[in-house]
Structure 1
């Protein structure tokens, strides 16, 4: 379905699907209360990953900014 909607080659689509399936805890490490994102992504995507790693918890904007 991804290939049909984006016109990507099979290899590119496979890489994207693999990235989507990676559990967030593999990408995010917490050290002394600071969460580090171990992925080469844009700032927007890093913020989304961080928010997802806090899912079901409340987190202050200031805490996210400290992490970034």
Structure 2
């Protein structure tokens, strides 16, 4: 016989706002790391390699931002 157990570790009551704030900070930190990693990786490429990809150096910041936060952010 199969059993399914669902447990939610979501904080409730008084601690819910704190848990939400911590989750929000973690998400922001993760997006920030994506931006930095993408920026650094693109910046390490030579101008020739960037040109082969159809990217100019002036586009690196925007592309890293879009990778981390999306186009509409």
Q: Same fold (TM over 0.5)?
A: no
TM-score (norm 2): 0.27
Higher-Rg structure is 2
Greater relative contact order (CA < 8 Å, ≥ 6 in sequence) = 2
TM-score (norm 1): 0.29
